[in-house]
């Protein structure tokens, strides 16, 4: 203790940080190897982080749950959504969102198809009843995503087909990540009954035939969802470069997805890209 009192404030903070790290390593099996590599991290920031982790571990050990409505102290100021005129709904939603933020709660949405009225309705009619972890840690936000409660398959499937299928197939980098594809019985243009490994090999063989592939245009034009099947269509333009020669490729594309009801996940089953001979 006498030695500790002789330290200046920065040295005391570093000693406290070392103690906290040792405590977390012994009690929780924590590892701070990456933090140790960053020797320039200010001790004040490191101390905040370590105390945050320690408090999180403490409250997680004996979790408590509370409804969102109770967490925000049961406000009576927010009207039922049906009582709010269209011209006032934007303001009402912003006020409700700001009120949630005061209690370190946020609601975000990925789909652009969800209007403020629906966000307000969802919050007051559904989210208020939801039981959340009652953790009180300064700076910690409890984040909710609307789409996790009410997925928008039109938005999700369009994004999957465009960004994680067609773009993934047409760009130069090798195709490796195929978690959005069904494992077998796949179709790629006129090739049928493909395993996902076979499809990946076919695509990568196409990529290897060119020095570079430059996507100049890629867009989705329509997405239909019919029970367990979904079809996304669009167009593309591509410049394939080989030995300094440029080969323009373009055409329509189509991606078909099927719903796995057990997991509630849409998997790609068919891909058709006009203008390319895989």
List Cα–Cα distances, 248 to 50, 236, 239, in angstroms.
55, 11, 5
How do 142-145 and 191-194 pair as beta strands? unpaired
Instruction: Tell me phi and psi for residue 80, to 5 degrees.
Output: -60, 145
Q: Taking the model in full, what pTM does it have?
A: 0.74
Q: What is the mean pLDDT of residues 85-107?
A: 97
Hey, which CATH number is domain 153-273, 3.20.20.70, 3.30.70.100, 3.20.20.150, 3.10.450.50? 3.10.450.50
**What are 127-162's pLDDT values in tens digits?**
999 999 887 777 778 999 999 999 999 999 999 999
- The domain segmentation of the chain, as residue ranges, is 2-61, 65-149, 153-273
- Per-residue pLDDT band at 195 (split at 50, 70, 90): very high
Of all residues in the chain, the percent with pLDDT exceeding 90 is 72
Average pLDDT, the chain: 89
Q: What is the mean pLDDT of residues 199-206?
A: 98
Q: What is the mean pLDDT of residues 73-91?
A: 97
pLDDT over 60 (residue 229): yes
**Per the structure block, which two tokens stand in for 56?**
């999180």
By the 8 A CB rule, do 17 and 30 touch?
Answer: no
Q: Tell me, what's the pLDDT at 7?
A: 61
**Per the structure block, which two tokens stand in for 220?**
């989705």
CA distance 103 to 219: 40
Looking at residue 3, the DSSP 8-state letter turns out to be H
pLDDT over 70 (residue 31): no
CA distance 268 to 273: 14
How do 142-145 and 105-108 pair as beta strands? parallel
């Amino acid at each position: 203790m006498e030695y500790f009192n002789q330290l200046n404030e920065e040295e005391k903070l570093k000693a406290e940080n070392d103690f906290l790290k040792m405590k977390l390593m012994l009690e929780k099996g924590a590892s701070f190897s990456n933090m140790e590599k960053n020797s320039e991290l200010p001790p004040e920031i490191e101390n905040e982080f370590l105390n945050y982790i320690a408090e999180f571990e403490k409250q997680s050990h004996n979790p408590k749950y509370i409804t969102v409505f109770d967490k925000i102290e049961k406000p009576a100021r927010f009207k039922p959504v049906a009582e709010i005129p269209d011209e006032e709904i934007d303001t009402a939603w912003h006020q409700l969102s700001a009120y949630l933020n005061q209690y370190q709660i946020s609601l975000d949405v990925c789909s652009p198809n969800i209007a403020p009225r629906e966000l307000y309705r969802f919050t007051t009619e559904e989210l208020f009843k939801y039981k959340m972890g009652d953790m009180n840690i300064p700076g910690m936000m409890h984040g909710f995503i609307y789409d996790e409660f009410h997925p928008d398959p039109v938005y999700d499937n369009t994004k999957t087909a465009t960004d994680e299928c067609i773009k993934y197939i047409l760009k130069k980098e090798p195709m490796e990540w195929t978690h959005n594809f069904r494992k077998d019985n796949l179709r790629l243009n006129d090739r049928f009954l493909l395993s996902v490994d076979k499809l990946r090999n076919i695509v990568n063989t196409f990529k290897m035939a060119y020095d570079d592939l430059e996507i100049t245009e890629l867009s989705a034009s329509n997405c239909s969802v019919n029970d367990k099947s979904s079809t996304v269509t669009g167009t593309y333009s591509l410049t394939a470069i080989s030995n300094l020669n440029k080969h323009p490729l373009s055409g329509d594309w189509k991606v078909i997805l099927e719903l796995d009801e057990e997991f509630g996940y849409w998997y790609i089953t068919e891909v058709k890209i006009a203008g390319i001979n895989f």
